[in-house]
């Protein structure tokens, strides 16, 4: 699944984006720093993808001084939040939650370059993410603690009942849960307890079709 680099606007495959960003970050940030436009600060380049839906991925720039709670909020806002469920980071076999080892730890205190870790949102209808610290680098300081370097394009998911692209999804359907507008009447024919009005939109997130998620 391809995505677009936010720095240079070029498109790369999922496997090639991390390699590209290493080069693109160094090339562009060296120029900015040399011009003396702003102060250098340490950042983490973190690659995030859905554990079970790996076509959904993010490449992020995260301030070293950002807290895990900031990272948690960012992931919820861009990909996950639906009903204020619990969440957890697992880093080096330690679990960071709001009830255990809390999320007030700073990124620089718990992560190193090449660290692989995971994140879970919702312990019922859960969504799990795999994360990897691709690189640690210095760049001009930005106001935002976390920003998107690259993101996958919306996957093209076909309607379960025709060749159109799906616009709605029902996780409770037993016979094809993806629907375009023309095939919504098929939902009534499926063995499903959900009303048509409760169908969820198809969105660019590994939480698509789960719980009540209808975000971006």
Q: What is the pLDDT of residues 123-180, one digit of tens each?
A: 999 999 999 999 998 887 888 999 999 999 999 999 999 999 999 998 788 666 899 9
Statement to judge: residues 69 and 34 lie in one domain:
yes
At residue 187, the pLDDT reads 83
* Rg from Cα positions in the chain: 19
Take residue 20 and report the two structure tokens written for it. 């590209």
Q: Domain end: 152, 180, 202, which one?
A: 152
At residue 92, the pLDDT reads 95
Predicted TM-score (pTM) of the model is: 0.89
In contact, 60 and 46? CB cutoff 8 Å: yes
Task: Count the domains in the chain.
Answer: 2
Which structural domain range is residue 23 located in?
A: 3-152
In contact, 139 and 40? CB cutoff 8 Å: yes
Separation of alpha carbons 110 and 92, rounded Å: 9
How large is the average pLDDT for residues 49-75?
96
Statement to judge: residues 9 and 47 lie in one domain:
yes
DSSP designation for 80: I
Q: Domain end: 120, 137, 152, which one?
A: 152
Statement to judge: residues 69 and 159 lie in one domain:
no
CATH number at residue 40: 3.10.290.30
Separation of alpha carbons 69 and 61, rounded Å: 15
pLDDT interval class at 38 (50, 70, 90): low
At residue 27, the pLDDT reads 80
Statement to judge: residues 36 and 112 lie in one domain:
yes
Statement to judge: residues 109 and 181 lie in one domain:
no
Question: End-to-end distance of the chain based on CA atoms, in angstroms?
Answer: 18
Statement to judge: residues 84 and 166 lie in one domain:
no
At residue 109, the pLDDT reads 96
At residue 103, the pLDDT reads 93
Q: What is the pLDDT of residues 89-127, one digit of tens each?
A: 999 999 999 766 789 999 999 999 999 999 999 999 999
> What's the mean per-residue pLDDT of the chain?
88
Q: Which of 5-9, 55-59, 196-200, 206-210 has the lowest mean pLDDT?
A: 196-200
Statement to judge: residues 143 and 164 lie in one domain:
no
Pick the closest to residue 150 from 53, 23, 18, 27 (CA basis): 18
């Amino acid at each position: 699944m391809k995505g677009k680099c936010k720095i240079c606007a070029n498109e790369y495959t999922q496997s090639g984006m991390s390699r590209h960003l290493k080069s693109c970050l160094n090339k562009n940030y060296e120029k900015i720093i040399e011009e003396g436009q702003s102060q250098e600060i340490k950042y983490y380049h973190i690659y995030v993808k859905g554990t079970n839906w790996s076509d959904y991925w993010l490449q992020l720039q995260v301030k070293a001084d950002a807290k895990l709670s900031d990272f948690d909020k960012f992931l919820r806002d861009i990909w996950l939040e639906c009903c204020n469920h619990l969440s957890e980071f697992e880093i080096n076999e330690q679990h960071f939650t709001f009830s255990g080892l809390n999320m007030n730890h700073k990124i620089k205190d718990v992560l190193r370059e090449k660290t692989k870790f995971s994140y879970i949102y919702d312990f019922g209808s859960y969504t799990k993410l795999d994360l990897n610290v691709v690189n640690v680098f210095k760049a001009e300081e930005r106001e935002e603690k976390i920003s998107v370097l690259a993101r996958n394009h919306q996957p093209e998911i076909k309607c379960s009942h025709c060749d159109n692209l799906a616009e709605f999804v029902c996780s409770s359907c037993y016979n094809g849960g993806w629907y375009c507008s023309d095939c919504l009447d098929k939902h009534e024919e499926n063995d499903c307890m959900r009303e048509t009005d409760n169908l969820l939109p198809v969105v660019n997130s590994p939480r698509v079709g789960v719980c009540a998620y209808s975000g971006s």
